[in-house]
Amino acid sequence: MSNFVVPAAPTVSLPVVGSDARFPVRRVYCVGRNYVAHAQEMGFSGREPPFFFLKPADAVVPAPAGQAIGIDYPPLTKDLHHEIELVVAIGEGGKQIAAADAMRHVFGYAVGLDMTRRDLQADMKKQGRPWCIGKAFDQSAPVGAITPAKDAGDIAHARIALQVNGETRQQSDLSQLIWSIGEIVEHLSNAWTLAPGDLIMTGTPEGVAAVVPGDRLVGSIEGLPSIEVRIRG
């Protein structure tokens, strides 16, 4: 059939709530510092324009509803942090999309974790080098089942939370986003052409902290299936 000199990488995909069909992942865009209190805990004012980084599609680990998954504690770090985030799934591509038109391009929403090797990220920041090693490592993006937008309720005002071993570490509300979902889509689509299959991790609220092997993380957003992730040693 195909004529490749090495095996082609498989398509990473996510389950879709209420469907047997799956969502194929193309790119994973991430927004930095999109909640004031998190920007402040990272030493910034919270009043800057949005900025973006990427994770490879195969960093995504599907976390089906009602099922605990495991991710490996990654190499090189001594400070693996959790960042609970709303994930926006793009269903219709485009460029220079106005914020007011953004919802037409959104297929649905999911709960995700932007796992971060904070020590490596901090070192790269200090040196003015790219963040890839801190953010874009293997299994760095557990993402739950995608809920179609029409079934997700009032996502712009939903509660978002992360518990570690039953204790709440992060808790906020999506109304606290500095840049709204529509504004993120507008900014992103001015810089890149969005396409079906793109995911956008929209930033994390305050309370980021370290996890260790054996920890059990439960991420939740009102109206979406929760995710449960165990850190393997």
Binding to Mn ion by residue 228, rule CB under 5 A? no
Fill in the DSSP letter of residue 193: -
Q: Smallest gap, in angstroms, from Cβ of residue 85 to Mn ion?
A: 6
Contact present, 69 and 53 (Cβ < 8 Å): no
**Could you say which of 139, 147, 172, 204 contacts Mn ion (CB under 5 A)?**
204
SS3 at position 225: coil
Which residue, 31 or 146, is less far from Mn ion as judged by CB? Answer: 31
Q: Smallest gap, in angstroms, from Cβ of residue 151 to Mn ion?
A: 25
- Distance, in Å, from the CA atom of 179 to the CA atom of 156, rounded to the nearest integer, reads 11
Helix H or strand E encompassing 134? helix 132-135
Which residue, 16 or 162, is less far from Mn ion as judged by CB? Answer: 162
Binding to Mn ion by residue 114, rule CB under 5 A? yes
Residue nearest to Mn ion (CB): 114
For 55-101, the DSSP string reads E-GGGEEEE-TT-EEEEEPPTT-S-EEE-EEEEEEESS-BSS--GGG
**∠ CA 58-186-56 to the nearest 5 degrees?**
10
Q: Among 100-108, 174-182, 203-211, 217-225, which window interacts with Mn ion (CB under 5 A)?
A: 203-211
- Distance, in Å, from the CA atom of 215 to the CA atom of 163, rounded to the nearest integer, reads 10
**Could you say which of 12, 83, 118, 224 contacts Mn ion (CB under 5 A)?**
83
Q: Smallest gap, in angstroms, from Cβ of residue 187 to Mn ion?
A: 16
Binding to Mn ion by residue 35, rule CB under 5 A? no
Binding to Mn ion by residue 198, rule CB under 5 A? no
Contact positions toward Mn ion, by CB under 5 A? 83, 114, 204
